[in-house]
Amino acid sequence: MTGYAAYFYEQAGFDTANSFNLAVGMYGGAILAGILAWFGMRRIGRRTLYLGGLALSLIVLIVAGVIATRRQTSGVSWTLGSLLILLTIIYDFTVGPVCYVLVAEIPSTRLRVKTVVIARIAYNLISLVNNVITPRMLNPTAWNWKGKSCFLFAGTTFLCLVWSWFRLPEPMGLTYMELDILFDKKAKASKFKEFQVNLASTGYFSLTPNPRSDSIWRGYQ
């Protein structure tokens, strides 16, 4: 939706000049958020940023959708405009840049190229659908959803959040070998960082140390 920001602002009630100015300011905020993400990913972690970004985006989208159901006034327009700027900043600090890091870090070493290609194809297919329906949602001569289109994106954001909660691991600080071992052993996604310590302490033979040190495996299982 942020790709159609200027058009969204017009449908929210702004004139052409203010719509353009808000869109430019929004992209300025996106650039700053992207720069801050360099430091955020080093300190906060990929999984935390991604899940946090999805959760905050979900809240903003629901609030924006509810506000869009109100009668259109100057106050409603400015509130929707502010929320879209906030949504863009959240996205470009979290989900936007983090996804490219995840695509590079998480795939198996042997299948990384194929995985990246499949991911890009999936992204382009979804973009085709998105670029077809978004103008129709905002266009007053088509579906005329205007700000209420936030509800649709809130739904897709919720689905992504649920999937990421159960399936997205934290690759920060993990080597490609450690990631391959954890995936091979079907480690729980939310426990990757915890299991990394266990892997190192067992010489990468197991996720948990074996208390029986008298075995032929010398304490490993």
- pLDDT band for 5, please (50, 70, 90 cuts): confident
Q: Report the distance separating Cα 181 and Cα 163, nearest Å.
A: 22
- Do 197 and 109 lie in one domain? The reply is no
Closest CA to 54 of 159, 192, 127: 159
Token pair of 140 as six digits:
């007053």
Q: What is the total count of domains within the chain?
A: 2
Q: What mean pLDDT is predicted for residues 48-69? A: 95
- Do 210 and 113 lie in one domain? The reply is no
- Do 93 and 37 lie in one domain? The reply is yes
Q: Which domain holds residue 191?
A: 173-221
Cβ–Cβ under 8 Å, residues 178 and 109: no
> Distances in Å between the alpha carbon of 125 and those of 104, 118, 153?
20, 11, 17
What pLDDT score was predicted for residue 209?
Answer: 60
Of 216 and 190, the one with more pLDDT: 190
Which CATH number does the domain housing residue 88 bear?
1.20.1250.20
Residue 104 has pLDDT above 70, yes or no: yes
What pLDDT score was predicted for residue 44?
Answer: 92
- Do 212 and 138 lie in one domain? The reply is no
- Do 195 and 111 lie in one domain? The reply is no
Q: Report the distance separating Cα 33 and Cα 92, nearest Å.
A: 5
- Do 63 and 125 lie in one domain? The reply is yes
Residue 200 has pLDDT above 80, yes or no: no
Largest CA distance in the chain: 78
Give me the phi and psi of 12, to 5 degrees please.
-80, -10
> Distances in Å between the alpha carbon of 124 and those of 40, 75, 129, 146?
27, 36, 9, 24
Residue 214 has pLDDT above 70, yes or no: no
Of 182 and 126, the one with more pLDDT: 126
Share of the chain above pLDDT 70, in %: 89
Closest CA to 2 of 95, 76, 73, 67: 95
